[in-house]
Structure 1
Amino acid sequence: MPSSRKATASAVTVAALGLSVLTAWPAAAHGTMGDPVSRVAQCYAEGPESPESAACEAAVAAGGTQALYDWNGIRIGDVAGRHRESIPDGRLCSAGNEEFKGLDLARADWPATRVHGGSYTFKYRVTAPHKGTFTVYATKPGYDPVKRLAWADLDLEHPVAQVTDPVAAGGFYTFTGTLPERSGRHLLYAVWQRSDSPEAFYSCSDVDFGGADGGSAPVPSASAPSEEQIAAGADKSTIEHHGHGDDDAHTSAKPTAAGPAEQPPAPPANQPEADGSSVHLAETGAPAGTSTLAIGGAAALAVGSAALFLSVRRRAAGGGRRR
């Protein structure tokens, strides 16, 4: 093959590789349990800047307000079903994510949804529908809310609900399950494992079955955020809303009239946390260590390759004319 054709073929190959990196960039889905309302949704409904309950106030003190504006982003991008291996005991509600560490606080006063044993209709609030399986676990009898949630606290052998590919309608996935017979405070742990990506989402919902010791403090009632509240806080979120993103799927929240949206500090790629779990890229569903630098590099690679292709073509054409 003449050298000009080899160079042209190489340029085309490199350009194709660069473009494939861009087009293969995964989209992110987002959501949290809406009924029974999750901790993060409850605290967001109270107002990130001035939460009403003591538990949500403590969560903000521990992790800041940004976690509540990012209410639909408790996730691990590359977990692929390895939930127990990826999330350490005591950090289930945050999915091991430092931003959401306030949700892991062990307290007996988290606002809770009143429930009873038997059939229950779950509503999962979703901002980007995707295929996958929802699994909901209940805590075992004897669960102690003043101890941090561990995997051993959950009845993993008997999920209270499990459904694959439900149809989203009105901003919710709705599916039914069966709650066990319990009394007093318990917790429901929901895992949404996508089938079109290794990404999974997690949420903790506090529930009250009633019938507990009459001397215990009354349980604050939980309530989900309204559509107006969700819309009002979207500009302060670093999580994409409205389908797969806002105007640009790789951007964070848009600035508000009062100034730029609050942004959490970006962790170094592949930086291990103290417990050995990895920091995961927040927006893309990509494995840990993937960064926006990869996007920029791929784009530059594609553009540079295209320029090389055109340069080779010009030289080849010029050489032909000289002969």
Structure 2
Amino acid sequence: MRRRRRAVLAGGALTSAALLGTLVNAPAASAHGAMMIPGSRTYLCYKDGLTPTGEIKPDNPACAAAVAQSGTNSLYNWFAVLRSDGAGRTRGFIPDGKLCSAAAVVYDFSGFDLARDDWPVTHLTSGAELQFRFNKWAAHPGEFRTYITKDSWSPTRPLAWDDLEDEPFYRVTDPPSVGGPGNEGSYYYWNARLPSGKTGRHIIYTVWQRSDSTETFYNCSDVVFDGGNGEVTG
């Protein structure tokens, strides 16, 4: 990535680049958001591709491949991996191999389902406490559920529901937030203990289910448990 960024454990600050000045038209759904710490694929690829002119041209090979398949709208709208009809559904609703795109119907995020081991990755420590941050481009009440991949998962195959642990390792309803909607600097946050005994690459999978509508967001965050403190590389 053009920048190495540090997301700190248990309540530290994240330094963000300035938000892209002009976004393409947002989808018809009224809420938007994406995981910022640990960064989702769409968010970190957006950050990787930012240029002084406002164009998004990722350097990371996986991000570039995703854009080649899905187009730049997938990054201008990094906060819109959603299903308006989701109602919190997971297995049996989103097909295997399409978890990272949510089989979205408004924008094409299919490139973010690509099975690769070179996505931007957040370095973490198993068993440590992390302050999760989820952008609130639009604010709504609801529940966040965070899952982790099983030790048998491999980044060389598309993510399937059987690759995730059956139960979320953390869930929170209506967490606190900072900032006003409509910008990158506003987010929900909560502290959670990361799963213990994890090593190597994994995906943290987040489901944000609104309680005031059926709209649901789905996010893949690539992480590596190597004793890291939130550094982002790739």
TM-score range, shorter chain: 0.7 to 0.9
- Residue 107 of structure 1 is matched in structure 2 by 116
- Residue 188 of structure 2 is matched in structure 1 by 173
CA distance in 2, matches of 1:122, 1:51: 24
CA distance in 2, matches of 1:52, 1:72: 20
1:30 to 29, 32, 41: 32
- Residue 41 of structure 1 is matched in structure 2 by 43
Deviation (angstroms), 1:52? 1.0
CA distance in 2, matches of 1:112, 1:28: 29
Q: Residues 266-281 of structure 1: matches in 2 within 5 Å? A: none
Change (3 A) 1:104 1:29: same
Q: Residues 309-320 of structure 1: matches in 2 within 5 Å? A: none
Larger CA Rg, structure 1 vs 2: 1
2:135 to 125, 130, 138: 125
2:223 to 207, 212, 215: 207
Name the SS for the 1:97 alignment partner. Answer: coil
| Structure 2 counterpart of 1:86, one-letter code | F
The answer as to whether partners of 2:56 and 2:75 remain within 8 angstroms in 1 is no
CA distance in 2, matches of 1:192, 1:166: 12
CA distance in 1, matches of 2:232, 2:69: 20
Name the SS for the 1:205 alignment partner. Answer: strand
CA distance in 2, matches of 1:37, 1:27: 22
CA distance in 2, matches of 1:81, 1:220: 29
The answer as to whether partners of 2:149 and 2:203 remain within 8 angstroms in 1 is yes
1:193 to 189, 206, 209: 209
2:233 to 221, 226, 246: 221
- Residue 136 of structure 1 is matched in structure 2 by 146
Name the SS for the 2:34 alignment partner. Answer: strand
> Does 1:97 pair with 2:104?
yes
In percent, how many aligned pairs have the same letter? 48
**Structure 2: 5+ residue stretches without partners:** 1-27, 50-54, 180-185
1:78 to 53, 77, 85: 85
The normalised TM-score by structure 1 is: 0.56
Deviation (angstroms), 1:220? 6.9
CA RMSD of aligned residues (A): 1.8
Aligned length: 189
CA distance in 2, matches of 1:121, 1:205: 14
The answer as to whether partners of 2:123 and 2:224 remain within 8 angstroms in 1 is yes
The answer as to whether partners of 1:189 and 1:205 remain within 8 angstroms in 2 is yes
Name the SS for the 1:43 alignment partner. Answer: helix
1:66 to 61, 73, 79: 73
Instruction: Decide which structure has greater helix share.
Output: 1
Change (3 A) 1:62 1:184: same
The answer as to whether partners of 2:176 and 2:190 remain within 8 angstroms in 1 is no
> Following superposition, which runs of at least 4 residues in structure 1 exceed 6 angstroms of deviation?
none
| Structure 2 counterpart of 1:91, one-letter code | K
CA distance in 1, matches of 2:95, 2:38: 24
| Structure 2 counterpart of 1:57, one-letter code | A
| Structure 2 counterpart of 1:186, one-letter code | H
Task: Summarize deviations over 1:178-212 as a string: whole Å, max 9, x none.
Answer: 2122111100000000000011011100001028x
Instruction: Decide which structure has greater strand share.
Output: 2
